[in-house]
Amino acid sequence: MAQILTIEECDFDRLYEIEQQAHLIPWSLGTLKNNQGERYLNLKLVENNRIIGFAICQTVLDEATLFNIAIAPTMQGKGFGTYLLKALMAQLKKRGIQALWLEVRESNPARQLYERQGFNEVDIRKNYYPLPNGKRENAVVMACYL
């Protein structure tokens, strides 16, 4: 059974490895490390003593923003993303967070995951995300009331 644990300093090499594999334009190691602190709820998903996913989420007052969520590509399609997102939402709710926000690439299949968990499209940010070919892709802003 997969475990949900808090990210620790010793986890960053593995988180960075997953980040590089899972995202079209991945975060740098520095960006991963800079998105930590007391206003964050950052979780890792561990299966068989190995990190297979993570979520980076910042909290401000009674709202939170999911900045990054990733599952190792070899583990995708097995329900781990849903499991991690539900665990994150439950922990945020316990902390008194009332709304969770996120942005997602228009082409990202994870949009379906978010919609299944109660997220609604709020806005579109035109040409927000860079693409490897130098073009840009829209971001879909979504929110879920917890």
User: Is 71 among the annotated ligand-binding positions?
Assistant: yes
**94 CB-near residues (< 8 Å, 6+ apart):** none
- In the Cβ-directed half-sphere of 131, how many Cα atoms lie within 13 Å? 12
Strand partners, 58: 40, 65
The domain containing residue 25 runs over which residues?
A: 3-145
The SS3 call for residue 96 is coil
Instruction: Give residue 111's pLDDT band: very low, low, confident or very high (50, 70, 90).
Output: very high
More confident residue, 110 or 65: 65
CATH of the domain at 76: 3.40.630.30
Largest CA-CA distance found in the chain, in angstroms, rounded = 42
Look at residue 132 in the predicted model and tell me its pLDDT. 85
Query: For the segment 32-69, what is each residue's pLDDT rounded down to a tens digit?
Result: 999 999 999 999 999 999 999 999 999 999 999 999 99
- For residue 1, pLDDT over 90 is answered with no
Is residue 47 within 8 Å of 26, Cβ to Cβ? no
- For residue 131, pLDDT over 90 is answered with no
Counting the structural domains of the chain, the total is: 1
Look at residue 66 in the predicted model and tell me its pLDDT. 98
The catalytic site residues sit at 103, 114
Token pair in block for residue 49: 């003593």
User: Is 69 among the annotated ligand-binding positions?
Assistant: yes
> What's CA 50's distance to the chain center, in Å?
18
Handedness of CA 105, 108, 114, 115 (dihedral sign): positive
User: Is 70 among the annotated ligand-binding positions?
Assistant: yes
Look at residue 24 in the predicted model and tell me its pLDDT. 87
- For residue 72, pLDDT over 90 is answered with yes
| CA atoms of 6 and 130, how far apart (whole Å) | 30
